[in-house]
Each structure stands twice: as structure tokens, then as C-alpha cells.
Structure 1
Amino acid sequence: MAFIEANSEQHKRELSAELSLDSSDIRSHAWYHGSIPRIRAEELVAKNEQFLVRDCTSRPGDYVLTCRWNNHCLHFVINKVILQPYTVYERIQYTFEDDSFDTVPDLVTFYVGNRRPISVASGAIISRPINRTMPLSFYAAKYCIPQNDYPSLNRDSMITKSPPISLNKYQSALLSERPLSRLSINSQQEEPPPKPKRDSLIKVPLSDKTEPIYINCNGNDYDMNERENLNENIDLHSIKTANDDQQSDENFCPIDSSLFRTIPIHIASLLHSSSNIDPQNYFTFLLAKDNKPLEMSAVNKVRSLLLETGARILANHITKVDLDFIKHFDKEANFGLGIKSGLELVLLPHGGAYRDDILDRAECFKYFVAASLLICNDDERVLILDKWIQTAIEIKTGLGNLMAFRNIMAALALPQISRLQKLWLSLRQRFTSNAVVYESKLRPTLKAVIDCNEPLAPNTTFPYILTMVEIIQKHYKFVDETNAEMNEEEIAEKYQSFKFDFPWETSSSDFGLNLFFSHLEAGRQIVNQCNLFKRNSEIVLDGVVFEELLSDIFTTEFHRRFLWGYRGCIAAASERFSKFEQVLTLLSAKCESNSSSV
């Protein structure tokens, strides 16, 4: 009881020290809650106009304003604008849409004091701050957040400003909210858990000077889908220090206790064990809560946005969403085993869910482009077709995004689109130059990209990886489906009958082997150039202002809700795609009949 009271007094002192900092320091404002989870933030803002500011988990270093408006919980990323970059006068300003401010507190004060809507689209107004009652270090420990940004504000640290000892997410999880005796070196009185199987251990080399860590990933020590609650699921009985007298006892996993404070622990199977696409919990002002497929109100909004927005702006938003999808901008992203980018994860066995997400995004984007052409009248259709061609040009030449380029071109090459002869004739008559570029340059470029004959441009931000992802995913799924009880002859027979089902397997004399290995070699080169792609991304999108609604229409969550509705968006990918092919065929036939009648 005395410990609790002492701890409470310490929290009060730390909170008081934080709130007494200079007003330009965001920590001096009680409405700043640090890195609390998104779900917790939504619980706190229970009434309209209530708000708080928290750290952006997907973009470290950025902030998110969470508020409630019209009984909806909204999250607005506070944009950073760099003025006079790469000079001695470089400085950062913070903005939502128009007005910019030197500090986040200045921005919040302006919007609260003037009752200015956060964005024109939402009309959200903030006036009632939700203040924290504990220091930032308390929330960091509670939610297992790295504490680099939240030093303990005791008197000594405020004077010397010495850096705090930081724990990463998993170290904090192992140490927080657990009795110290669970990590005791002498655990002879406890009954050990069952011996883990050898193939269930992940061996993670941490550095040249330390021993590897072994973590049991085969039992029920933790729920792989509950990353945020890791501290409640890891059973520390299965962890034993390397200095234990009974170190040779294989019932325990050896781990050096000093590593808890110095080296990150990578648990690869936790980091992407399921899809990150969650359409039913996705919110946008463009869709009703339980919308139906191709709902007319959403169709009209999408059509207006495409017609009224310039091709380069569309290309910027598409590329930004694509790069966020593969964690291109997240400098602290960690997919396990030291993997820092989704472009690397797609090559690894534990990246299966990530590969499925990439394949799903590519198909959904293709169908979204096709649907945008088939759900409007003839006059608008040729305008939107021309806009997509312009966007493909900008994406390929200006932004180096080969994945989005492929998705747009694949949509325009669908039989439901290419069969509309009057549409393409109208394009040649009204937009002759773009029609010529499409036929003479874009289509040959797409074929060269797919055939690995197109060298990577110096400004590439997102290389073409779709074929490589399909090859790897089909291989791993085939391996997973192979019955472990089969004998060698049965396995060999099954391998002989296995096909990737790519067109070049039957159309080339070598059954596509050269092309197959070309894609694998391209994948190796892509991994080696991840840093270059990231740098290119920062350069081409530097200073670009992004609009929320435009970004929304290019997310995979929006595509699935828009095309299949609230209920159908969670169906299996094969079922969704086969049914939408039928929908596109019906829409195409309707467009063709309408053109004929005219």
C-alpha cells in the first residue's frame, strides 16, 4: 500500500513537471495524451466537440487530433509543412487545410478559440479538451509504448536533459504489469511448461555480441492477433534467464535478462499474421454506415471527385496511399527479423497475409477504375477515360509508381472496357494526343514491365512486384496444402502436377522459366534498393497537400465497401472477384446498348 501511495505521488510530481513546461512544448498541455491507442482515444471523446491530441502510430513523429462530431469519432492527422528545406532557415509548420502554425499548441488554440472547422468536408468543431490525469510515462508503460519521447520529468532530468533508457514495445510488454517473481532466476519450485518443439522456436540473431533469443511460438503463450495486448498474453513461465543454474534444462527458453533494457525483441509471427484490411470498421464521409454495393450517393461523389480533380493531384494521392499501404514512409516500421519495409516482407514465408493484402489491393483498384467508367453517362465516360489515361502517364513518368500504373492499365484492358468501341472512338476524336500515347507508349510499357524488360527508372517509388508476389504466394500455399503424411512418391507426383497458371507457362517454348527467374531476380534487386525507393518517395511528394476525401477513394477499404457493400466486402476474395466480373459484364452490355441506341 505504501508503494502504491509513493508511486501515486511520483506520478503527481511528473505530471506537474510536464504541465509547467513552456507553453510551446506540447507536453505542457493536458489535452496531449502521448501514444495512447486509437481505441482508447475514441472512448475518451464521448461527447460532441470533445477532443484530444495523440501520437500517430502509423507515422511516428506526427500527431493525430481525435474528436467527436455529429456523434462520430473522427481522427485528423496534423500535417507537417517544411519551409525552406535543406537550408539554415528550414523550419516546420503544422496545418490541417489552410492556416499553418509554428507549434501544435498554436494550431489547437486557433481552432478552439475561433471555432473553425477542422476540415471543410467534415465541418467538425472542437471546443472541449479531454485532459490527461497522469504523466506521459504512465501511459507509455501502461500501453507498452517506447518511452523515448516521454522522459521522466523529475528535477534532475529537467536540468541535465539526459536521454531516458528506452524499452521497445515487446520489452515493455514483458516487464509491465507482471510480478517481478515471474522473472526470478530461481524458478525451481514452479512446475515447468511442456517442452516446446524444435520447429516452433524462432531464432533471432540480435547482434554479434549477444546470444540469440528463443521464444516459444507453438503453444498458446500469446494470441498472435492481439499485438496491442501482448503483455497480457505472453506467459513468462516459458522464459528463463541465460544465467540460470539449470540453463541446460530445455523446458525453458534461454534469454539474457540484460537484453530487456538494451536490445529489441523481434517476434516475426506476431507482426503480420492476419490481414490489415478491415473494411467493415472503416469510416469515411463518402459512404453510409451500412452502404450497399455501388450506392448512388457514393457513385455521384466519386464521379465528381474524378472529374473535378487534376490528373497530377489524383496521381499524388494514389501514390501516397500505395506507399502508406506498404509502410514506405514509416521509418520505425518493423515486420520482424529486422525487416523494415513491406517490399522485403513479401519475400519471406511469414509474409503470407501481407502478400494476400497486396494482391487484394491490386484487384480491387482495377475493378474500381473499371466501375468508375461504367457507372456514368456517355459524355462523362470519355472524360473519365481520358482522366485515367492522364493519371497513368503522371503515375508512370512523374511519380515512378509502377504498381498503380499496372492497376490502371489492367482496368482499361479489361474486355468489359475494351469492347466499348464507340467510347474509344470518341477518345480518339476528342483527345487524340492522349489516345495516341495510350496505344503507342503506355500499352507497350505495361507489357515490358510485366515481362521484366523495362529497366527501373531513377525516380521509381513503387516497383512492379505483382507477378513476383503471385509466384511466391502460390508456392507457399502449395507447400502448406501438401499433406505431411504423404510419402515421397505422392509428394513428387503432386509437385509434377503443380502449375502456377500464368499465361507464359503455355505460350513460350521454355514454359516461362526464363521469365519466372527474371521476376525472382527482379525481386532480389528490389530488396537491395528499398532505401532508394523511400528517398524517391520523399522527394516526389515533398510539399504536397493531401485531401482526406481524395485519399479515401483510393484506399482498399473504400474500394471493397464501395464495390461490394458493407455485407459483401468481407466475403472471400475469389467470390468477390468472380461476382464483380459478372456485374462489370452487365454494366458493359448496358453501356454498349445505350451507345447503340443513341
Structure 2
Amino acid sequence: MQVPQDGEEDLACQPWYHGPLSRQKAEALLLEDGDFLVRASRSRGGHPVISCRWQGSALHFEVLRVALRPRPGRPAALFQLEDERFSSMSALVHSYVASGRPLSQATGAVASRPVAQPSCLRRSFSEDALVDSTDGIKHLRTRKRSTSQPTDLEHSGRSKDPSEGPGASTVPGSALLRIGSDSVLLKTPAPLGKTADILRGSDGQLHAKAPTKPLRAPSLVLGEASGPPPTYCELVPRVPRAQGATPVHSCPEPEARWWEAEEEEEKEEDRCFVRPQAEVSFCPPDHPSCLLGCQNRPLDPQILHKLRGLFLEHHPGGTALHLLLVDCQAAGLLGVTREQRSAMGVASGLELLILPHGHRLRLELLERLEALALAGALAVLGCSGPLEERAAALRGLVELALALRPGAAGDLLGLAAVMGALLMPQVSRLERTWRQLRRSHTEAALAFEQELKPLMRALDEGSGPCDPGAVALPHVAPAMRLLEGEDLAAPPAESCGLLLRALHRARLAARDAPQYRRAAAQRLRGFQPHPELREALTTGFLRRLLWGSRGAQAPRAQRVEKFQRVLSVLSQRLEPDSPSLP
């Protein structure tokens, strides 16, 4: 039997996969904490969903399927739950069950015991396992098994029916029919010796004429535990170890990070125009948050305190790489799927930004700029303690901007957001705070005045650096504002020149999009993001943090106007004697 090479294994052969199953039926099968199963959700287009019972409640976690461009030696799709991606659904389930990691940081739910399906779905490897209907299910013909094989059928709980002919066998209710080379999942504890015998069987040995095969070594070998033997699970097989031998832990190889995957360049002669189908959004799908609950209030003090500690734990250079990763995903520079390319008619978000059907992407990036700038200003204005605390917050933003500038991380989109926070009127009016910054952190103050402010002015005017070698994500905010009908903050005599330079820079960014993509992937090569810090920099998290789960649904202009008033009140309370806001 040939094993598929595209990473989409036959899930019907897995005892924990129940095929198309409704949410209500899945919850009825989950009896104790730790029980889990995998099903195909009809409402989610057949996507796999992990249903697990934890703390008395049934929880459902959708697994994101990320399609990849076909390439020899690489799977056709990756399966993602929260941040980590796997080449197959079996690898994902095995990793979470074997390691005991929670399926989500927000719920802490741990999947430990698979719930076997009442009747095994018997399908061939050539069929798709994630379908909405069961019309394609075909029954396997009964295969004749010889009792002369090393692993007899009696070892796996099978017994012969006297009424049947020789070679026929039945499967009792206590065991699942074995398909292919998968192990039998027993509902009763099995001795370690019998477990090892069960693992020794293979698909070839079930045939009378097949030659014997060597021992199939499990992917994870655990030592003998004291006390009664636990229930056997094929996800964490246990085999007896030799006396005096040291247990060997074999961990699966880490999955390739999607931002490190090399993009295949299409040949010029093979390219053809593809009519765009719809507007594309690169915002990640809504997953259970590991920092926020389902419902949250705006500016929750506990969340703000946790975020402050989270940012203090990371060096500005590491935070800059986190921001670069999230910005490249939000701008459609990295992680663009083939379906998204077909829908938008171009290869990256930098090309989509200057097209008429890039309206949705432009609005998302402009909202992201505003949310990052407001959050950065809040980091300073929310410090109600000593003056030195606010000065330290200013220094942190300056150091982050230095780590984002060209030649470093090269994330000019993130640099524009951080500089927007530092140049916000509510922040720039704090005279005593800036004076304390120059006194206690002179180098940061000089870098802000002599390097960052002139650089940002040049970028806004269209004369700053844009070389793909020094820049990973170009500065496209002026062009986005122009295309969305916003006025440039410039004198009338200079507005025409600024408009032409902004559009010219946007055209160059679209032309050099492959070079920017390679530059961003090179900077992120080997980077291991922190899950909570990465989530804290996403647009969806910032929106819920600043305006709450209910306020985040309000129109963008209304939300920004209200929060500007909140920042003005905070600024006036911190330094009433400073110049008043206009």
C-alpha cells in the first residue's frame, strides 16, 4: 500500500477521527476531562475540528489548513493550531497528545484520551478524508488472514465465528478493526508485552503470502512506569525496555516555519493575467486568544500589566522581529497562499495595495497603523507613577524605532507606527517627561532628535531609503492614504510633488515585491517568536485591547476619535502645566 506523499493522510484510518460529525453528537461522546476526537465540520467547509472535554465543558478547536504550492519533497498543505504548523493532521495530534501541551493557551485544555469511533470508517488512501458527506465511504473487502504469522489475530482481541468459513474473522465491540499498518486501540488495559506484539504487526504481515517485516519501532518510547499499566494509546505507545537500558526519547523533527518557506518564482513565459475574483484580507483567522477571554473590557488593568512585563522581558531587537513578522503577514508579503494569489490576481500584498480592488487591504493596514500608534502612546500616558517611569517608556519606544529602521529589521510600516506614537500631540506635549529623557537617557534622546525624526520626515516626503537590501517592508502609508482619499499634511505648493513621489514609491514597492519578500525571509530565518508577544502585536488583539470586545465592532473613525479624547485626558492629568492641546 502506497503512503501518500502530500501530507494529507487518510484520516479515516485513525481511530480518533470520526468523519463528518455534528457538534452535538461529538459532545455526547466526550465523557471525561481529556477525552478528544477529530471531526470534519460541515459548517466550516469540512475543515478538521478537535473536540475535547476540559473542566466539565466541551470545547471545539478548528484546525487551520494552509495550502502550499506543489513542490517535490514538500507537503501540499500544513495544519495549524494556534502558532505551530505540521505537515499532517496525525503529526499535529501526536505532538499535542505526546507532549501534554494544551490545545490553546487561553483554555488550557489538554487532549490525552482519544475517543474511538463506534464503527471504523473504512476508506482508501486515494479518497479525501475531509468531506462533508459520507457518500464516498467504501467498505473494504474481508481479507483472509493466516494464523501462521508472528502476530496472531488473538493478540489483538479478534475471535473467529464458528458459523463463518475458514480464514474469516470478526471484530468484537471492545476493539476497532485494524486498517493498513495502524495499531488497534483497545478499550481495556493491555499488558506491555502484548502491546509490543501488537505494534509488531504490519499490513504486509496480514497477508498470507507477504514476507515478514522487521519490528516497527514506535515514534516515542517511554520507560516502564510504576503502578498499574495505563490504557494503551497508539499516540503514545509504550514498549518494555531492556534491563539496564536508558530510555530514548525521539522527538519529531520541528515543522518548517511558513515565513522561512522559499517561494517558487514563476517563469516569465508561463505568467498570464488572472482576473481578480474578490478582495483579499490577510488578517489571521480568529482563534481563541491566549491573553484575552471571549469577552473583555477596554484597557483591562490586568492585561496591561501582563503586557508591560512581556515587553520588558524582550530586547528591542527581538520585539522588532516580532513586529516585522506580524506586519509582513498583515501586508501580504509573507505567507500568501496560492488561493489568495488567484483571488487577487497578483503575487503579493504590495502589488495589491496600488490596485482598485486593494481597498480592503489598505483599510486594514491604515487601521493597523493607528492601533499600533495609539497603543504606543498608551504605553507612555498610562504610566501614572514616577516621572522616571514615563521617561523609561519613552526610551523603550525610541529603542524599538531604532531596531525597526533601515539596516536593522527594516520594517518601515512598524517604524511609522512607533514614530506616530512618539510624535502624537498627547505625548509630545509632556515637557517634563522629555526633559527627564534627555537627562537620564541622553543617547536615546539624541537618536530620536538627530536620526529618527529626520528619517521619518524623509520617508513621508518620498525621499527616504527604500533599497530592498536595507528595507524588508517599505513605507507605503502615504500612498495608502492618498488612494483612500485622505489629504496630505503639506502646504498646497508642495502637495503635488508629494503626491507624485508617494505614488512613484508605491509603484517601485510593487515592482520590487519579490526582493522585499526575500529580504524579510532572510531576517526572519531561524527566528522563534514568542506566542503571546506575537499575538499582542496583531491588529485584532490591539483592537480588542483598546476598545473592548464590544467597542471593537464600532466604526473605525468613531473608535479612533473616542480614544484620542481618552489620551488627551490622560496627558492633561499627567502634566497639567504643559502646553495645552489644540
Distance 1:128 1:325, change over 3 A: farther
Residue in 2 that maps onto 1:463: 474
Q: 1: distance between equivalents of 2:65 and 2:271?
A: 40
2:348 aligns with one of 337, 341, 345: 341
SS in 2 for 1:577: helix
Residue in 1 that maps onto 2:225: none
Distance 1:535 1:412, change over 3 A: same
SS in 2 for 1:336: helix
Matched, 1:355 2:362: yes
For 2:409, the aligned partner's letter is: L
Q: Which moved more, 1:440-449 or 1:123-132?
A: 123-132
Residue in 1 that maps onto 2:303: 298
What's the offset of the Cα at 1:469?
A: 0.9
1:297-348 CA distances to partner (integer Å, 9 max, x unpaired)? 2111111112222111111111111111122222523153631211111111
What's the offset of the Cα at 1:472?
A: 1.2
Residue in 2 that maps onto 1:512: 495
Matched, 1:268 2:250: no
The 5-angstrom pairing of residues 206-285 of structure 1 reads 268-272=276-280, 283-285=288-290
- Provide the aligned C-alpha RMSD in A: 4.7
Q: 2: distance between equivalents of 1:580 and 1:555?
A: 18
1:486-540 CA distances to partner (integer Å, 9 max, x unpaired)? xxxxxxxxxxxxxx53221xx252x411111111111111111010011111100
Between the two proteins, the alignment pairs up a number of residues equal to 413
SS in 1 for 2:472: coil
Matched, 1:568 2:578: no
Q: 1: distance between equivalents of 2:6 and 2:452?
A: 51
Asked if the contact 2:16/2:114 (under 8 Å) is kept, the reply is: no
Distance 1:114 1:375, change over 3 A: same
Which runs of no fewer than 5 residues in structure 2 stay unpaired? 41-47, 67-78, 134-179, 181-267
Radius of gyration: which is bigger? 2
Asked if the contact 1:32/1:53 (under 8 Å) is kept, the reply is: no
Residue in 1 that maps onto 2:571: 588
Asked if the contact 1:24/1:105 (under 8 Å) is kept, the reply is: no
Q: 1: distance between equivalents of 2:282 and 2:365?
A: 10
SS in 2 for 1:290: coil
What's the offset of the Cα at 1:367?
A: 0.6
What's the offset of the Cα at 1:64?
A: 10
Q: 1: distance between equivalents of 2:330 and 2:521?
A: 15
Distance 1:102 1:581, change over 3 A: closer
Asked if the contact 2:279/2:344 (under 8 Å) is kept, the reply is: no
SS in 2 for 1:551: helix
Matched, 1:424 2:429: no
Matched, 1:403 2:389: no
Which runs of no fewer than 5 residues in structure 1 stay unpaired? 1-16, 56-62, 80-93, 145-153, 155-206, 213-265, 475-499
Asked if the contact 1:315/1:395 (under 8 Å) is kept, the reply is: yes
The alignment-based identity, stated in percent, is: 28
Distance 1:424 1:106, change over 3 A: same
Q: Which moved more, 1:330-339 or 1:558-567?
A: 330-339
Residue in 1 that maps onto 2:315: 310
Matched, 1:449 2:434: no
Residue in 2 that maps onto 1:327: 332
What's the offset of the Cα at 1:119?
A: 7.4
For 1:473, the aligned partner's letter is: E
Residue in 1 that maps onto 2:487: 501
1:567-593 CA distances to partner (integer Å, 9 max, x unpaired)? 111111111111111000011112225
Q: 2: distance between equivalents of 1:330 and 1:42?
A: 35
The 5-angstrom pairing of residues 20-39 of structure 1 reads 21=3, 27=9, 30=13
Q: 1: distance between equivalents of 2:438 and 2:577?
A: 20
SS in 2 for 1:355: helix
What's the offset of the Cα at 1:415?
A: 0.9
For 1:467, the aligned partner's letter is: P
What's the offset of the Cα at 1:455?
A: 2.4
Distance 1:301 1:514, change over 3 A: same
The 5-angstrom pairing of residues 533-572 of structure 1 reads 533-572=516-555
SS in 2 for 1:455: coil
Residue in 2 that maps onto 1:415: 425
Which has the larger share of helix? 1
